[in-house]
């Protein structure tokens, strides 16, 4: 199985180009804050901010679940354990081991196929959320006000794309995890302890801090 690490997926799209000059960063943007609440804005902008943040978080979490489960499959030696049971157990145990292995193989293949090999716009959309946040926070800035319609359009595209992806990949992650849980139950063992998958560069709920791009 070749499930790409989450860090690779998040870094496939490089940061957007930024102008060489920027105005002073307002205090409310210079200080890190918790990204659990949208800044003041119109109801439509607040709803868009929430939709993009939630879709981004769901996409990253479900991709991370698949990556972590692939690590668990490797380090838990599921195939080896089931093959051993198929070769040394009773006829019923051998058949059960073969069925458990087949379920894992199917779930692993579907998980691998569900992750876009060309990458997903997770990193780009993190910056889109930051851009929207900044323009909502400083509505009186003429430059930000002029850019807001385009930023809204980009944010809506990101929210729709990532929400649809998260909805597709969530059940795939569920099935992958369930196939390993069923194998553990069949083998009569606790879930093997595995090392964590590589973390993402930045938490999904916290877009990069900074001033106007």
Tell me, letter by letter, the H, E, C secondary structure of the chain: CCCCCHHHHHHCCCCCCCCCCCCCCCHHHHCCCCCCCCCCCCHHHHHHHHHHHHHHHHHHHHHHHHHHHHHHHHHCCHHHHHHHHHHHCCHHHHHHHHHHHHHHHHHHHHHHHHCCCCCCCHHHHHHHHHHHHHHHHCCCCHHHHHHHHHHHHHHHHHHHHHHHHHHHHHHHHHHHHHHHHHHHHHHCCCCCCCCCCCCCCCCCCCCCCCCCC
Give 110-168 pLDDT, tens digit per residue.
999 998 877 677 778 989 999 999 999 898 899 999 999 999 999 999 999 999 999 99
Across the range 4-22, mean pLDDT stands at 40
Q: What percent of the chain has pLDDT over 90?
A: 61
Q: Domains of the chain: which residue ranges?
A: 41-187
């Amino acid at each position: 199985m070749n499930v790409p690490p989450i860090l690779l997926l998040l870094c496939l799209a490089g940061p957007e180009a930024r102008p060489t000059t920027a105005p002073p960063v307002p205090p409310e943007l210079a200080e890190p804050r918790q990204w659990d609440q949208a800044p003041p804005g119109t109801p439509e902008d607040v709803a868009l901010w929430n939709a993009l943040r939630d879709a981004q978080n769901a996409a990253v979490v479900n991709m991370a679940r698949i990556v972590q489960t692939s690590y668990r499959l490797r380090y838990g030696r599921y195939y080896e354990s089931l093959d051993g049971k198929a070769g040394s157990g009773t006829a019923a145990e051998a058949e059960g081991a073969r069925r458990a292995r087949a379920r894992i193989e199917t779930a692993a293949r579907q998980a691998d196929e569900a992750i876009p090999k060309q990458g997903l716009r997770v990193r780009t959309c993190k910056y889109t959320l930051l851009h929207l946040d900044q323009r909502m926070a400083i509505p009186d800035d003429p430059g930000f006000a002029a850019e807001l319609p385009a930023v809204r359009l980009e944010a809506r595209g990101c929210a729709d794309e990532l929400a649809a992806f998260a909805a597709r990949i969530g059940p795939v992650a569920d099935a992958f995890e369930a196939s390993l849980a069923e194998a553990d139950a069949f083998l009569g063992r606790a879930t093997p302890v595995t090392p964590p998958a590589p973390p993402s560069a930045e938490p999904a709920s916290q877009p990069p801090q900074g001033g106007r791009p």
